Amino acid sequence: MFLPQVIKSARVMKKAVAHLIPFMEEEKAAALAAGGPADERSDAGCFLIATVKGDVHDIGKNIVAVVLGCNNYRVIDMGVMCPWKDILDRAEAEKADIIGLSGLITPSLDEMVTVATEMKKRGMKQPLLVGGATTSRMHTAVKVAPQYANTVVHVLDASRAVPVCQALLDEKRREDFEADIREQYQELREDFYASLEDRKYLTLADARAKAPTVDWKLAANLPHKPALLGTR
C-alpha cells in the first residue's frame, strides 16, 4: 500500500481499539470484583517513543505508535525534537519497558548515539529500539550498540515493531532473541572493520599530484560559445 493508505488504516485501527477499551476495562473491573489479582497488568507493556532532538519528522513514529497501541501496548508518544534528557527522564518516571527512537535526517544518527551513551551512564536496562529512514542495521551495530551495555535493535519498519517488542518482553524468548541480535551485530562490526583494512589512503601530497590538469589552449578544451548572449 501507499503511505496515505497505511496511515488511514492505522487510524481506523486506533479508533476501533478506542471503542473496545471501555469494554476491556469493564471486563477487568468485573474480574477484580470477583476476586482476581489487583496487580494484574492489563497491557502488553509500556513503550516510550520519541523523535530525537533536531528532527521534526514523525510519520513513521506515529505509525509505530498506533500499531503498538492496537496490540495492547501502553504507548507514550513524546512527539518530535526531544532532547535525550527529556526522553530518559520520562522513561524512568513512567517505568517504560522499552524505549524507541525515531529519526529521518542524518544528524539524528549522532543524537541516537548520544541517547545510548547517556542510558549507559544512568545504568538503564531497557531495550533500545531505533528506526527511521537514515538508520540501518550496520549503523546500529557499529555506532549505537557499542555505546549501550544492554540490547539495541534496529527496527526496519513499523510492521516489525510488534514482533520485536513481543520477543523482548517474553521471558522465555528474550534471552535467545537478544543473543541472536548481539551475534548478528558482532558479525556486522567485524565485516565493517575488515572493509576498513582493505582501504588504502594517499597522502595529501600524493593526492594533489594526481589532480587532473587541463590544457585550455587546446581547441577541444575551449569553452563553447553560445549562439546567443542575453535574452530574446
Residue 224 annotated to the active site: no
Contact 41, 13 (CB under 8 A): no
Under a CB-based contact definition with an 8 Å cutoff, are residues 67 and 10 in contact? Answer: yes
9, 43, 57, 86: which is the annotated catalytic residue?
57
Residue of 55, 58, 77, 97 marked catalytic:
55
Give Cβ neighbours of residue 98 (< 8 Å, ≥ 6 apart): 45, 46, 47, 48, 126, 127, 128, 129, 165, 168, 169
Q: Which of 186, 118, 116 is nearest to 152 (CA)?
A: 116
Establish whether 55 is a catalytic residue: yes
Phi, psi for 47 (deg, rounded to 5): -120, 120
Instruction: Write down the catalytic residue from 77, 97, 102, 108.
Output: 108
Active site residues: 55, 57, 108
